[in-house]
Structures are given as structure tokens and as C-alpha cells.
Amino acid sequence: MKEAFSVLCLVLLVSVSEAAVTKPPLGTFLSCLRSWPSPENPITDDIITADNTTTFLSSYLSYTKNKRFTSPNYQTLMAIVKAKHGSDIQATVVCAKSNGIQIRIRSGGHDYEGLSYISSVPFVILDMFNLRSITVNVPSKKAWVQAGATLGELYTKISDASNTLAFPAGVCSTVGAGGHISGGGYGNLMRIYGLTVDNVVDALLVDVNGKLLNRDTMGEDLFWAIRGGGGSFGAILSWKINLVDVPKILTVFRVNKTLEQGGTDVLYKWQLVSSKLPDGLFIRAMPKVANGTKSGERTIAVVFYAQFLGRANELVSIMNQRLPELGLKRQDCLEMSWLNTTLFWEDLPVGTPTSVLLDRPSKPEKFFKSKSDYVKKPIPKEGIEKLWNVMLKFNNNIVYIEWNPYGGVMDKIPATATPFPHRKGNLFNVQYYTAWFDANATKSSLNMMKELYEVAEPYVSSNPREAFLNYRDIDIGSNPSGETNVDEAEVYGSKYFLGNLKRLMEVKAKYDPENFFKNEQSIPPARVKQ
Ligand SMILES: Cc1cc2nc3c(=O)[nH]c(=O)nc-3n(C[C@H](O)[C@H](O)[C@H](O)COP(=O)(O)OP(=O)(O)OC[C@H]3O[C@@H](n4cnc5c(N)ncnc54)[C@H](O)[C@@H]3O)c2cc1C
Ligand SMILES: *[C@@H]1O[C@H](CO)[C@@H](O)[C@H](O)[C@H]1NC(C)=O
Ligand SMILES: *[C@@H]1O[C@H](CO)[C@@H](O)[C@H](O)[C@H]1NC(C)=O
Ligand SMILES: *[C@@H]1O[C@H](CO)[C@@H](O)[C@H](O)[C@H]1NC(C)=O
Ligand SMILES: *[C@@H]1O[C@H](CO)[C@@H](O)[C@H](O)[C@H]1NC(C)=O
Ligand SMILES: *[C@@H]1O[C@H](CO)[C@@H](O)[C@H](O)[C@H]1NC(C)=O
């Protein structure tokens, strides 16, 4: 077992034995929930405890995305509350707090380290998936989206209402609006329209006292913190977002160059130009392990995925001027609606019905692990080749590194505008990713990720080595489930938030001074000045 992992297990064991002694009574929590005054919306049917033997495990698993966390911790998971109304959220917060029970809020359940549904102290999962309404207002170019809606549902609703409006958010259709936007989500419209949080104009939040607040009633400092600071400040019921203009027809392409075809050179050149291209052009580079031409041989294919807010002929001419090494041809390009581009980005074949965007998961399909980095200077070719060596050294078939170009408006929005600090000066963001299907491969997969991260170290941001909150990585620093050490929080917090951490901790001290909303990587309240 990997070191960090066994430390985590140790912490788990210690806390579980403590919990066995101090586990709060479930009965008082449940009767508190049931006596919550909301006669029109009784909560009773929405509470699942371990007594509900048939539904408990399936409820736990239905929004558990990562197979690494398939087994619920029966020692600590007391109940799952499937909220259907704002009043269910209020009741859960108030009753958990008064009974000394932690809550973990889960919207889409895509948290990379499972922090929305695991804890080693007694806790309940506040499951938001039933809260999924979306209302689009075309004339004002605004929408309200509830936390449990998925990105696929949001994209579908927007496109049903208008074929020239869109929302700049992530690529996977099952990601939940609650966690995605809380973590400062990004997608392929980032270079022209910024992040999700740059396009949030209001929110409904249940605070630590169970009060339902909007932007006016919560105040600007709390509204600032929830736009990228993670789930440390309360439970988001819904977001009001700004919709952005897109043409009726966009152009995309996906082409690749293997190492044998000069992939490393093209990728090197991509680093020099990708953040300086027109704002409406986003080209992701994705080196991945692929089969070679001979049977049994493996290589790296650098796959380039692009999206352009314009037509194919124009894109080809831009590419031939700025990145001729790729050799893009008109026939590599596909013209389609914005909604159809969201299928393209998920690698679905042309012709796939858009109804797949509404599919929801019912159980985890694979094990995965990610890590992230920021790059400010081009990585020399010998550095890139060291990454290839690590990727090819292990047996994993699903291994890739995603390079996402910055620049455009990301250079213009101040680093303090939202908690998300990684703005001007970044060439691109990196995600290292591997997935596997056999639990026996866990150890070597985690080792590969660790080795990739070590090999990349000389070429990426440092002091601190920056990381992206939505690509949560427990290895960069963490606290035990039930307590938050401020020194340790400064270790991971400075990587995720840089200079914004201090302000986040001050906002936390003001609105959740007893640190009720917490997890292994949450924001602690600022220390009281001596
Ligand atoms: C396949 C895949 C593709 C992805 N693609 C992208 C991408 O393109 N761009 C990008 O930015 N990210 C991407 N991500 C990362 C994703 O944005 C984060 O994992 C995000 O946190 C998921 O949100 P969720 O609601 O699905 O997850 P959850 O696990 O439900 O929540 C994640 C975190 O947010 C907290 N949280 C959730 N709901 C609420 C709420 N209502 N109120 C307060 N706190 C809450 C949770 O407690 C947890 O800490 C991707 C992830 C996956 C698995
Ligand atoms: C779960 O069990 C409790 C009592 O054990 C019962 O009151 C409740 O209706 C059950 N809920 C579901 C969804 O089965
Ligand atoms: C690379 O492109 C070729 C030609 O389009 C395609 O057959 C192959 O599957 C692609 N490889 C990867 C890894 O995407
Ligand atoms: C690569 O080859 C292996 C067998 O060597 C096969 O199992 C796998 O499916 C192939 N992968 C792809 C993407 O074709
Ligand atoms: C979008 O995709 C659907 C399904 O393949 C197809 O019928 C439709 O013509 C496409 N529309 C546009 C504008 O790309
Ligand atoms: C995983 O390892 C165990 C113990 O070594 C073994 O019994 C099992 O068959 C392995 N599983 C697979 C899918 O290889």
C-alpha cells in the first residue's frame, strides 16, 4: 500500500474505535428531522438508514463515482437524507449540528477522493440529486440551476430554450452543478468566457444556522467565498448563472500524432501557441497511452481536441498559420451545434442522440486517480519524454495527461475576483489521470501517479506547487475527517487558493466559526488574533 494511503487507513481505524464509544444517538437525530416544521413537505420518506437494508447500499452507491470508495463505512455512516426541498436541507443541517453529527453534501458525487460521501467520524450524507430543477430565461440570458442537476441536464435545458446560448462549464455530463460550480468549474469556453464562477450572479445557500440566504441576504464576502472556495461555507441549494452567446454552428476536431509521427514536437509547439490563440478557440492536448502499429507494442498518441466558435474554413486557416505542424485538414473538422459539441467532447460517435446527456449513473464503473499541476513556462522536450517513460513503464491501458490552455480572459480576470487564483501567467493546467477495473491494480496505479507527479516537478509551478480544487488530490495535504488543523490546512489550502486562502479563512470564521462544514481538505476558520 502506498504510504499516504496506509496513513489514511490508520487514521480511519483510530477514529472508528473512538466513534464506537462516542457515536451520537441516531434516534434523536431522526426525531429532530421528523419534527422539523414543514407540513407540506414531510421529510420521512427521504431518510435512509442502515435499517433500510435493501436501499441503503444502493442509495450510497448510486452517486458514488469512484470504485475506490465502493464500501460504505457502516461504523460511521448513520443515514442518507435524499433532500427534496430546501426545508430538508435546513432540517438536516440543524439536526446534525445539534446532535454532534457531521454532514457530507453530495450533488453529483464526482469528488475525486470521495469526500462528499465518506468520513471516519459519525456523519450523514445530504444527497442533493433530487433537487434538479432548471429554469432558463432567454431574454435576460440567465438561468437558475439546482445543485443536484447534472451538467448534461443543464446543457440540454439551455439548448432547448435557445440555439445560441450556452454555459461555460465542464466536459462530463454526469458532473453535478453543486460540487462543480463550488470548486470553480471550467470547460472549453474558458478562454473566452472564463470559469463557471465568473458567470454566477446569485445563489441560494443554507447556512450553518439553517437559514436560507440569497446573495443580498448573505452579503458579498460570503457570496465571494462560495464561488470557488469549495463546500466549506454551507449547502448550496441553487445557483443563478449567466448564459453566454455562441454561434448556431461551432467547429470541432480531434486529431492525433503518435510519438513515431512527431507527437512530442507538435506538443512542444502547442505549448508556445495554445494560450495565445483567438479567445474563441480552445485546443486541449491529451497525450495518452495507445497501442502501437505492431501487435503488443505501446506508444503515446498526443490527441488534440479543439472547439472553435466559428466555421471550419476559418479554423483551418488559423491552424495552418499558428500550428502548421499539426497538418490540420478541412476534412478533420466537424461543424455542429453547441449541444452536439458536448457529446463530441465525451468521445461519443457522431450521431449519438443527445438524450444520453440525461443519463444518470447507478453505480461506480471504474477506479480512478487524478492529480493536477499548473505550467508557466514551456516544458522542454526532454522533460516531456520523461513523462512518456513513466506512462509506458506501467501496465495500465487507461492513462492520459490532459493539458488545458489558459490565456484569453483568464489573463484579464484578477486573481482575487473569486477564490480561484490560477489566472494570469499560466500557460496551461495539467490533469494526470489513470483508471482501472481490477482492485488488484490499485497499488501500482497510485504508484504510477506518484511517479508522474515526481517526474513533472521541475517543470511546473512551485512554492507552492499549485493544484486545482475540482481535481481534488488528497496527497497534497489533508486533515483527519473530524478536526481541522490550521497549519495542515495552509499546506493544501495555499496550493488550491494561493493568496486567497487568508480571505477564505476570514469569511469562514465569520459565518461558520465552529467549523461545522468540514472535510479532509476544507477551509478552517482563521485563528482568533491573540
Ligand atoms: C468524469 C469527470 C469529468 C470532469 N470534468 C471536469 C471539467 O471538465 N471541469 C471541471 O472543472 N471539473 C471537472 N471534473 C471535476 C468535477 O468538477 C468535480 O469533481 C466536482 O467537485 C464534482 O461535483 P459533484 O457535485 O459531481 O461532486 P460531489 O462529489 O457531489 O461534490 C464535490 C465537492 O463539493 C461539495 N458539494 C457538493 N454539492 C454541494 C452543495 N450543494 N453545497 C455545498 N457543497 C457541495 C462536496 O461536499 C464535495 O466536497 C470532472 C470530474 C469527473 C469525475
Ligand atoms: C427506512 O426505515 C424506516 C424505519 O426503519 C422507515 O420508517 C422508513 O420508511 C424507511 N424508508 C425507506 C425509504 O424505505
Ligand atoms: C488517432 O487517429 C487515428 C486516425 O484518425 C485513429 O484511427 C486512432 O484511433 C487515433 N488514436 C487515438 C489514440 O485517438
Ligand atoms: C490494445 O491492445 C490490447 C492487447 O494488446 C487490447 O486488449 C486493447 O483493447 C487495445 N487497446 C485499444 C485502445 O485498441
Ligand atoms: C446534432 O446531433 C444530432 C444527433 O446526431 C443530429 O441529428 C443533428 O443534426 C445535429 N445537429 C447539429 C446542428 O449539429
Ligand atoms: C486479485 O488478487 C487476489 C489475491 O491475490 C486474487 O485471488 C484474485 O483472483 C485477483 N483478482 C483478479 C481479477 O485478478
Which set of grid coordinates corresponds to residue 307?
A: 472547439
**Residue 27 beta carbon below 6 angstroms from any ligand 2 atom:** no
For residue 28, which phi and psi values (nearest 5 degrees)? -70, -35
Instruction: Assign 23 a pLDDT band (cuts: 50, 70, 90).
Output: confident
**Residue 185 beta carbon below 6 angstroms from any ligand 1 atom:** yes
- Are the CB atoms for 84 and 41 separated by under 8 Å? yes
CA of residue 380 relative to chain centroid, distance: 29
- Which residues lie closer than 8 Å to 528 by C-beta, 6 or more apart? 509
The pLDDT value recorded for residue 43 is 80
The pLDDT value recorded for residue 530 is 53
What is the spatial distance between Cα 475 and Cα 77, in angstroms, rounded to a whole number? 24
Q: How far is CA 467 from CA 364, 365, 474, 506, in A?
A: 25, 26, 11, 21
- Are the CB atoms for 74 and 50 separated by under 8 Å? yes
CA of residue 197 relative to chain centroid, distance: 13
Residue 471 annotated as catalytic: yes
What is the spatial distance between Cα 274 and Cα 411, in angstroms, rounded to a whole number? 13
Tell me the ligand closest to 340's alpha carbon: 5
**Residue 301 beta carbon below 6 angstroms from any ligand 3 atom:** yes
**SS (HEC) of 139-189:** CCCEEEEECCCEHHHHHHHHHHHCCCEECCCCCCCCCEHHHHHHCCCCCCC
CA-nearest of 241, 229, 183, 237 to 207 is 237
Instruction: Assign 178 a pLDDT band (cuts: 50, 70, 90).
Output: very high
End-to-end CA distance of the chain: 42
- Domains defined along the chain, listed by start: 15-130 (3.30.43.10), 134-245 (3.30.465.10), 250-335+366-459 (3.40.462.20)
- Are the CB atoms for 264 and 385 separated by under 8 Å? yes
The pLDDT value recorded for residue 149 is 98
Which set of grid coordinates corresponds to residue 406?
A: 489558459
pLDDT tens string 353-365: 999 999 998 899 9
The set of long-range contacts for 491-494, using a CB threshold of 8 Å and a minimum separation of 24, is 492/467, 492/521, 493/521, 493/523, 494/464
- 160 vs 24, more confident: 160
Q: Does residue 298 sit in helix, strand or coil?
A: strand
Q: Does residue 476 sit in helix, strand or coil?
A: helix
Q: Which residues pair with 281 in a beta bridge?
A: 308
Is pLDDT of 19 > 50? Answer: no
Mean pLDDT of 146-162: 98
**Residue 482 beta carbon below 6 angstroms from any ligand 1 atom:** no
CA-nearest of 358, 334, 313, 379 to 132 is 358
Q: Does residue 308 sit in helix, strand or coil?
A: strand
Is pLDDT of 512 > 90? Answer: yes
Q: Does residue 301 sit in helix, strand or coil?
A: strand
Instruction: Identify the active-site residue in 60, 471, 492, 511.
Output: 471
78 C-alpha to center of ligand 2: Å? 13
Q: Which residues pair with 206 in a beta bridge?
A: 212, 235
Is pLDDT of 67 > 90? Answer: yes
Cell match 494561493: residue?
Answer: 498
What is the spatial distance between Cα 168 and Cα 508, in angstroms, rounded to a whole number? 28
Instruction: Assign 175 a pLDDT band (cuts: 50, 70, 90).
Output: very high
Q: Which residues pair with 480 in a beta bridge?
A: none
Tell me the ligand closest to 182's alpha carbon: 1
Q: pTM of the predicted model, to two decimals?
A: 0.95
**SS (HEC) of 312-346:** HHHHHHHHHHHCHHHCCCHHHEEEECHHHHHHHHC
What is the spatial distance between Cα 449 and Cα 433, in angstroms, rounded to a whole number? 8
What is the spatial distance between Cα 470 and Cα 379, in angstroms, rounded to a whole number? 24
Which set of grid coordinates corresponds to residue 33?
A: 428531522
The torsion defined by the Cα of 364, 111, 461 and 407, in degrees rounded to 10, comes to 100
**SS (HEC) of 174-228:** CCEHHHHHHCCCCCCCHHHHCCHHHHEEEEEEECCCCCEECHHHHCHHHHHHHCC
Find the length of the chain: 530
pLDDT tens string 437-453: 999 999 999 999 999 99
333 C-alpha to center of ligand 2: Å? 54
What is the spatial distance between Cα 315 and Cα 403, in angstroms, rounded to a whole number? 20
Is pLDDT of 263 > 70? Answer: yes
- Are the CB atoms for 364 and 70 separated by under 8 Å? yes
What is the spatial distance between Cα 293 and Cα 281, in angstroms, rounded to a whole number? 32
Q: Which residues pair with 402 in a beta bridge?
A: 431
CA-nearest of 207, 200, 206 to 227 is 200
Is pLDDT of 287 > 70? Answer: yes
- Are the CB atoms for 102 and 78 separated by under 8 Å? no
CA angle 299, 302, 303 (to 5 degrees): 125
**Residue 303 beta carbon below 6 angstroms from any ligand 3 atom:** yes
The pLDDT value recorded for residue 14 is 43
pLDDT tens string 196-214: 999 999 999 999 999 999 9
Which residue type does 26 have? Answer: L
What is the spatial distance between Cα 354 and Cα 229, in angstroms, rounded to a whole number? 32
Mean pLDDT of 286-295: 95
- Report DSSP state, residue 92: H
Instruction: Assign 12 a pLDDT band (cuts: 50, 70, 90).
Output: very low
431 C-alpha to center of ligand 5: Å? 30
CA of residue 490 relative to chain centroid, distance: 21
Helix 500-511, helix 486-497: angle, nearest 10: 130
The pLDDT value recorded for residue 39 is 72
Residue 184's CB: how many other CB atoms inside 10 A?
26
**Residue 364 beta carbon below 6 angstroms from any ligand 1 atom:** no
Which set of grid coordinates corresponds to residue 459?
A: 517543470
The whole-chain average pLDDT of the chain stands at 94
The pLDDT value recorded for residue 528 is 77
Binding pocket residue ranges, ligand 5, CB within 6 Å: 336-337, 340, 351, 353
What is the spatial distance between Cα 327 and Cα 334, in angstroms, rounded to a whole number? 16
